Amino acid sequence: MSIELPEAKILADQMDKQLRGKRVQRVFLKDCEKLQRLGFVNKDVHAFDDLVNGKIESVTSRGSVMRIKLDNRMSLILAPEYGGIIQYYAKSESVSDKAHLTVGFADGSALTVRLTGMGVINALKETELERSYVYRRDFSEVSSPIDDKDFTFERFSKLLANKNVMLKSVLVGKDAVVVGLGNSAFQDIIYRAKLHPKRKASELNTDESRALYNAIKLVVQERLRLGGKDQFTDLYGKGGHYTPTMGPNMKGQTCPTCGASVEKMSLGGGFTFYCPKCQK
Ligand SMILES: [Zn+2]
């Protein structure tokens, strides 16, 4: 289950409340060789040793990236974008043995991180943060749909007008005009906006751009309000309640609006489910 902006925000807010002031006593990595080879976890595992003795100052998120900032100029960057479980344990004895990363605190509590898909676990010095691709991408000037001042319709529609590419690359990935949306949110958003997956951003008229803008805000707000997407579990193992209106969960189903059979197409390195009748 992918962690996109709403889920990263839920986790970061919970961690900020729960972990602030805690001192790191030990850091333990397990089964990370493959993740290291792929570049998802620091190649030099000793970087994690530098977290030890640091006290957690704050936990923040932007887009789908979380930053745990310590008082010793170190940060732990977490971005389980294609799936991951981040959990808190009041007593470290009960920690899951499936975790890739376990952070034990001086008071006996612990935090665990397990990646179930592609994602990032990086221990970085303050001066090294920009080396992290996900940090650079999301802790950036790019609009965040959670911030009303930053994500205005005027700014969004101007950016769309300049993009002669399909909507997916405008909403998801390194060239996106907003941070924090993944393939799951994308399918849900364009269904709600009634836009076909192959439409180009620059060709949308004002009403269509407005519908897209509103759908982005709605999906993000609803997922936040309902504790994240279904299958997501928060810091305490509690499940989310948001079911996407369109996505893999609609495979073999009919569109709830018009009754047409939901179709899927391969698009930009993943499948996109859509309604051939409603989405034009
Ligand atoms: Zn339909």
Ligand 1 center to 259 CA (angstroms): 6
Which residue in 59, 85, 63, 89 sits closest to 8, CA to CA? 63
**pLDDT of residue 107 exceeding 90:** yes
Which residue in 240, 241, 251 sits closest to 275, CA to CA? 251
Buried b (16+ CB within 10 A) or exposed e, 72-104: bebbbbbbbbbbbbbbbbeebeebeeebbbbbb
Beta bridge partners, 56, equal 70
Ligand 1 center to 258 CA (angstroms): 4
Ligand 1 center to 157 CA (angstroms): 25
Ligand 1 center to 255 CA (angstroms): 5
- Sheet (strand 110-115) strand order: 24-29, 101-105, 110-115, 84-89
Q: By percentage, how much of the chain surpasses pLDDT 70?
A: 100
**pLDDT of residue 1 exceeding 80:** no
43 compared with 278, residue with greater pLDDT: 278
pLDDT bucket at 269, cuts 50 / 70 / 90: confident
- Half-sphere exposure (Cβ direction) of 17: Cα atoms closer than 13 Å: 8
- Compute the distance between CA of residue 135 and CA of residue 131 in angstroms, rounded to an integer: 8
Ligand 1 center to 178 CA (angstroms): 26
Ligand 1 center to 81 CA (angstroms): 29
**Three-class SS of residue 123?**
strand
Ligand 1 center to 262 CA (angstroms): 8
pLDDT bucket at 92, cuts 50 / 70 / 90: confident
pLDDT bucket at 270, cuts 50 / 70 / 90: confident
Ligand 1 center to 216 CA (angstroms): 19
- What is the pLDDT at residue 175? 92
**Cβ 67 vs Cβ 144: under 8 Å:** no
- What is the pLDDT at residue 124? 97
pLDDT bucket at 74, cuts 50 / 70 / 90: very high
**pLDDT of residue 181 exceeding 90:** yes
Structure tokens at 236: 């305490």
Q: Where do we find the tokens 């704050």?
A: 58
- What is the pLDDT at residue 148? 85
- What is the pLDDT at residue 221? 97
Among 94-98, 177-181, 185-189, 244-248, which stretch is predicted with the lowest mean pLDDT? 94-98
Ligand 1 center to 256 CA (angstroms): 7
Ligand 1 center to 218 CA (angstroms): 19
